[in-house]
Chains A and B, each alone.
Chain A
Amino acid sequence: MATRTRYAPDRGLTVRMTATMFLLGLVFVAFIAAIIGIGGATHASTAVIVLFAVVLGGGAAIGSLFYSDKIALRTAGAVEVSPQQAPRLHGIVDRLCALADMPKPRIAIANSPMPNAFATGRNADKAVLCVTRSLMDRLNDDELEGVIAHEMSHVAHKDVQVMTIASFLAIVAAVLIRISFYGELFGGGRGRGGNNNQNAAIILLALMALSIVVYAISFLLIRLLSRYRELSADRSGALLTGQPSALKSALQKVSGDIAKIPTRDLRTAEPLNAFFFAPAMSLRGGKSLSSIFSTHPSLERRLAELDKVQRQLSQQGR
């Protein structure tokens, strides 16, 4: 039985996201191929270095995935709350979970002066949803529901897993940059001549250059992917509640307020940015430049996408 649906996926967004993930995969393959090229042509010790970087980077990625809930809660200074302590919040989450047929996440509240929310945890069963006290104070119930639906969409989309896997390449590249940099210093400092030593220095230099390029490209692609996933979460969240305008007004309140808070206070929150509802860091400088580097799309872009959802939902007939 074909069920009638008003909830068509956004093709353009899907295509752009697929393209971004494809490019990330391509960079990964090219990186591996180039490393094999360098290693095979010259020196066996390169392989050892790369293997070390992959193990270290992979370990860091897996570790951060498995402990993502604990790390994030600790960093945000959040405390888990029971239904008795926060009945409103639990009520909203209960209903959204029943609507979306998802297991209920654990719920935490952070005593932070900035209005924000994030969801983390390695899968839907281990998910933790955290909102700040200030978010609950500033938003009304409809808006709070919109924000929570956005975060639950992150959980449904497995964004923590996807972004961790996407970041793996950048982590390995970053580790390689370090290793080859210290290798250069170390090798140059000894200065005991010899053709072999000089050769190794060149290889390390090539490895470092390659890693820097890969890191830069993958960094930009990850940020792009993150922005697309924010738009997806906005969209799915608005479709879940059926109230895109509540999410829009929440975005306006939160983004407007966050931009006003000085960045000094927010530095501790920066590592968490990828999972926040709104970015905690306001980038100054050129608009076009900051938009390439930011983890979240601009407010205008997010509002425009929600307008599309609004039109879709109010279509007469089908």
Chain B
Amino acid sequence: MGFLDALLGRTKPVQPKLDDLFALPSAAITLEAGAGFKPTGSGSVCFRPVEGRSFADVQKDVQELLDVSSGQEGGLPVEVSKDSFGFTWLVSSHLSDELDALVTDLHAVNSSLVDNGFGPQLLCTLVAFRDDQERRLALVYLYKRGTFYPFAPLDGERRDNALELQVKGVIGDDLKFEPDLARWFPVWGAPGL
């Protein structure tokens, strides 16, 4: 955002960075080897819907697209849910060893929104992991920063910060991690986690 834009009060919505998402499958292998967390196969895209017909049409197209692609492989249909903050989550479920396919699905959502001019509405994408003790972990990708951070919820809206920092230590070199810890915001009750 330029100085002039601020001065004239016309800051533009930020466009998302999409490419770094593809580093996820290889980082997942490191994560499993280093910390014992396996992907559950489910992942989700979270965005802020825009009111009006135009966005509703785009969202419908995306859902149909994903349903068709998962239908061919005998997968589960895409789930749509709205959280209490008014954000929409599209949850795509695959088998736990199909992380590549999952990332492809997630990317399809991203690129449809961007192609239709709704890129700035993308908030984050979330890929779920579990370990043998059934501890939950998500890697959250922040579209506007192009960075990842771990989110490990415990019962009762607490986070396992020690685990999150451990995960950062294990795969910090494989993924672009968000350096500003203040931006590791919690996504309580995220679908698919």
Contact = CB atoms under 8 A, between A and B. Distances in A.
Nearest to B53: A314
A7 B12 contact: yes
Contact of B12 (A9, A13, A241): A9
B157 A228 contact: no
Interface string B104-144: 00000000001111111101100000000000000000101
Given A95-B185, A101-B14, A314 B120 contact: no
B180 interface: yes
Interface in A38-84: none
B28 to A, nearest CB: 23
Interface string B1-18: 100001111111111000
A310 B186 contact: no
Contacts of B84: 141
B52 A17 contact: no
Contacts of A100: 13-14, 144
Contacts of B11: 153, 156-157, 236
A239 to B, nearest CB: 6
Interface residues of B, number: 44
A243 interface: yes
A134 interface: no
A92 interface: yes
Interface stretch (B30-38, B43-51, B65-73, B166-174): B43-51
A85 interface: no
Contacts of A318: 116-117
A94 B11 CA distance: 19
Contacts of B182: 103-104
A18 B116 CA distance: 32
A25 interface: no
B114 A3 contact: yes
Contact of A242 (B14, B51, B114, B185): B51
A290 interface: no
B183 interface: yes
Contacts of A18: 8
B7 A162 contact: yes
Contacts of B85: 91-92, 95, 141, 145
Contacts of B121: 99, 242
A195 interface: no
A242 B49 contact: yes
A242 B12 contact: no
Contact of B120 (A7, A91, A310): A7
A236 B9 contact: yes
A244 interface: yes
Nearest first, the 9 A-B pairs at minimum CB distance are: A314-B52, A232-B9, A242-B50, A94-B185, A101-B144, A9-B10, A6-B117, A157-B9, A101-B14
Interface of B: 1, 6-15, 48-55, 57, 84-87, 114-121, 123-124, 142, 144-145, 157, 180, 182-183, 185-186, 188
